[in-house]
Amino acid sequence: MNKKQITLKDIAKALNLSPSTVSRAMNNNPAISVETRDQVQRYAEEHKYKLNTLAFQLRTKRNNTIGVIVPEIVHFFFSSVLAGIQEEAESENYNILICHSNEDYKKEVKSVETLIDARVSGILASQSKNTNQYNHFQEIIDNEIHLVFFDRICTGINTDKVVVDDYAGAFNAVDYLAKTGCKRIAFLTSSSQMPIASNRRMGYEDALRKHKIVVDRSLIFTCDTRDLAFKVIPQILQSTNIPDAFFCINDEVAAYCLQMVKSFGFRVPEDISICGFTNGYITEVTDPELTTVDQHGHEMGNEAAKLLINRIEGKETKNGIVSKLIKTELIRRGSTR
């Protein structure tokens, strides 16, 4: 059909005007007479004129693309965040460029490069588990690109962030476990020094203290993946020191934990309670269904994108760091008493 996209110049030629006039007419510049404006806009519409974004961006140095770095795509929480980001970005007319670091430091660095190369006007990032160098993130800032961390924030970099209230989430969950009679509550967590892990641990410990339960370090395990779950949990269940509850860093570990606890002959929740973290799809299909902490990923995505876009457009006036906290919600189901 329309072989080539038509340009401002084409319109100008057709209407016997100069490209500048056409440009102004399209942008509703008041210097242009109403007749000319209407004529130009009508012609543009009829001939399906489309602004060449590349040229526009090159000229104006504006760029309505934001980059997103996620450690994992096939993942309930992160894909929820992604959906939230996408939703907000779309409503504000931004495009999103997605990079997948796959929990790999090197790919994370490469992702940052890619996004800087693409000259996005802002980046939303959640770091990989094992990232402990921050030069690449610093480079984003050095390139004067706005940066907002979400969920897995990077402590080494001083910038805006949106996080879930991990402390309160963990506190409430463990508080609930204790209230329902659990005394030996194990914590299956991540080895990482990321704030999401340390904050939850603080919530866990404070909740125990509230119930006058002594924090027992031998009940805290590094176990945040499928592989670790299959290795660590059987060991715990075979030990002489069997917990009466598991508070898990994510739903997957909780689900596998549930499976193994049952296969060892314990009843859930009568003998052992289990609580996850995220509230993903899988929590509704286990038997019994999993009690968990809803992380509101979609909302986090919304908020992070909103904050970033406000920064880009200069609408966020606060000079220092903006830190948004997303509330969590304890979802009680059958895996706890």
Binding to its own copies in span 79-98, by CB under 8 A: 79-80, 82-83, 86-87, 90, 95-98
DSSP for 115-157? HHHTT-SEEEE---TT----HHHHHHHHTT-EEEEESS--TTS
Which residue pairs from 85-88 have beta carbons closer than 8 angstroms and sit at least 24 positions apart in sequence? 85/124, 85/301, 85/302, 85/304, 85/305, 86/301, 87/298, 87/301, 87/302, 87/305, 88/301, 88/302, 88/305, 88/306, 88/309
Is residue 21 involved in binding DNA (CB under 7 A)?
yes
Is residue 259 involved in binding its own copies (CB under 8 A)?
yes
Binding part of the chain for its own copies, among 19-27, 49-57, 217-225, 309-317 by CB under 8 A, reads: 49-57
One character per residue 24-63, x = contact with DNA (rule: CB under 7 A): x-xx--xxxxxxx-------------xxx--xx-xxxx--
Of 52, 130, 135, 323, the one binding its own copies by CB under 8 A: 52
Q: Residue 173 and residue 336: Cα distance in Å, rounded? A: 10
Binding part of the chain for its own copies, among 67-75, 237-245, 308-316, 324-332 by CB under 8 A, reads: 67-75
Quick one: which of 298, 318, 305 has its CA closest to 164?
298
Is residue 53 involved in binding its own copies (CB under 8 A)?
yes
- Return the number of the residue (5 or 27) whose C-beta is nearest its own copies: 5
Of 26, 47, 75, 329, the one binding its own copies by CB under 8 A: 75
- Return the number of the residue (86 or 159) whose C-beta is nearest its own copies: 86
Q: Binding residues for its own copies, how many (CB under 8 A)?
A: 52
Is residue 202 involved in binding its own copies (CB under 8 A)?
no
Is residue 117 involved in binding its own copies (CB under 8 A)?
yes
Instruction: List the helix and strand counts (H, then E) for the chain.
Output: 12, 12
Is residue 159 involved in binding its own copies (CB under 8 A)?
no
- Return the number of the residue (47 or 100) whose C-beta is nearest DNA: 47
Is residue 258 involved in binding its own copies (CB under 8 A)?
yes
Radius of gyration of the chain (CA): 26
Q: Of its own copies, DNA, none, which one does residue 114 interact with (CB within 5 to 8 Å by kind)?
A: its own copies
- CA dihedral (82, 84, 87, 90) in degrees, to 10, reads -60
One character per residue 223-242, x = contact with DNA (rule: CB under 7 A): --------------------
Using DSSP bridges, classify how beta strands 323-326 and 160-164 pair: parallel, antiparallel or unpaired: parallel
Q: Residue 300 and residue 88: Cα distance in Å, rounded? A: 11
Main-chain dihedrals φ then ψ at residue 46, nearest 5 degrees: -60, -40
Residue 71, by phi and psi: left (phi above 0), alpha (psi -120 to 50) or beta?
alpha
Tokens 């100008």 correspond to 12
Interface with its own copies by CB under 8 A: which residues? 1-3, 5, 50-55, 57-58, 63, 65, 73-76, 79-80, 82-83, 86-87, 90, 95-100, 110, 114, 116-119, 142-144, 252, 255-256, 258-259, 262, 281-282, 284-287
